[in-house]
Amino acid sequence: MEFTTIKYEKKAGYAIITLNRPDKLNALNKQLFTDLNEVITTIELDKDIRAVLLTGEGKAFAAGADIKELNACDGRSGKHFSEFGSKVMARLESMSIPVIAAVNGFALGGGCELAMSCHIRYASVNAKLGQPEINLGILPGYGGTQRLTRLVGVAKSMELNLTGDIVSADEAKRIGLVNEVFDETELIEKSIALIEKIISKSPIAVSAIVDTVRASTILSLKEGLEYESKLFGEVCGSQDFKEGTLAFLEKRKANFIGK
């Protein structure tokens, strides 16, 4: 499949999406969101793909929404500008397979928001993250006020959003914005190792965990626990659950088949 602003590679059991406008630091323009939206559909329809790695070509993950396109917005089109990108990121976040961001450099504004719509973030030591929209006289439009707050807490989110300050990868890890930090040369290898570890497990249990953990950010504790019990019951009906528990009792490695 050919895209103009992203690269799509199908590997054994997972897919790699690479944002591919390196001369513009992978700034997120309308075409890129259109391509991303389409590749999400491609992945959703492909049952062989059990995890996604999202990264950027060149020195940026993504340096934000395309400021040239943004500059053309007015009161009406600005809302649409925000809604389109936000919708694509919500689709990515709602995938029932794990989506891992390998943050290979600048992840600013929409780039940081895109990384936050992934389920796990690994970063390279040179990565820089933040929500500098305030410096453009605007607020984040793809979830920067919402997902960042859920990840790092109200006070830190207020500070980052109000100052536009950019944080290093190490600081991002300290505040819970990224999971791990690796040398630049190791980032992709470590991200793939994480994906391979996850896809060696039962895809049914993996999807149920992605779904329930994500639900915890929108449901009350009571609703979330009820939802967890519901999915727990459903997963107990799977062959993988029988195999996993039996393998433990028989002191052998489980052979999961995704049924």
Q: Give contact residues for ligand COA (rule: CB under 6 A).
A: 24-25, 27, 63-68, 70, 106, 108-110, 132-133, 136
Q: How far is the CB of 194 from ligand COA (least distance, A)?
A: 26
- Among 3, 14, 1, 5, CA closest to 203: 14
DSSP string, 130-171: E-GGGGGTS--SSSTTTHHHHHH-HHHHHHHHHH--EEEHHH
Nearer of residues 50 and 128 to ligand COA, judged by Cβ = 128
3-state secondary structure of 256: coil
Q: How far is the CB of 31 from ligand COA (least distance, A)?
A: 13
Q: Taking a C-beta distance cutoff of 8 angstroms, is the pair 144, 133 a contact?
A: yes
Nearer of residues 25 and 53 to ligand COA, judged by Cβ = 25
- The single residue of 44, 133, 159, 228 carrying the catalytic annotation is 133
Q: Taking a C-beta distance cutoff of 8 angstroms, is the pair 184, 175 a contact?
A: no
Pair type for strands 6-10 and 15-19: antiparallel
Task: Enumerate helices (H) and strands (E) in the chain, giving the number of each.
Answer: 11, 10
Q: How far is the CB of 24 from ligand COA (least distance, A)?
A: 4
Rounded CA separation 30/166 (Å): 25
Nearer of residues 21 and 121 to ligand COA, judged by Cβ = 21
Q: For this structure, is 226 an active site residue?
A: no
Nearer of residues 52 and 60 to ligand COA, judged by Cβ = 60
- The single residue of 57, 69, 93, 113 carrying the catalytic annotation is 113
Q: How far is the CB of 38 from ligand COA (least distance, A)?
A: 21
Q: Which residues are catalytic?
A: 113, 133
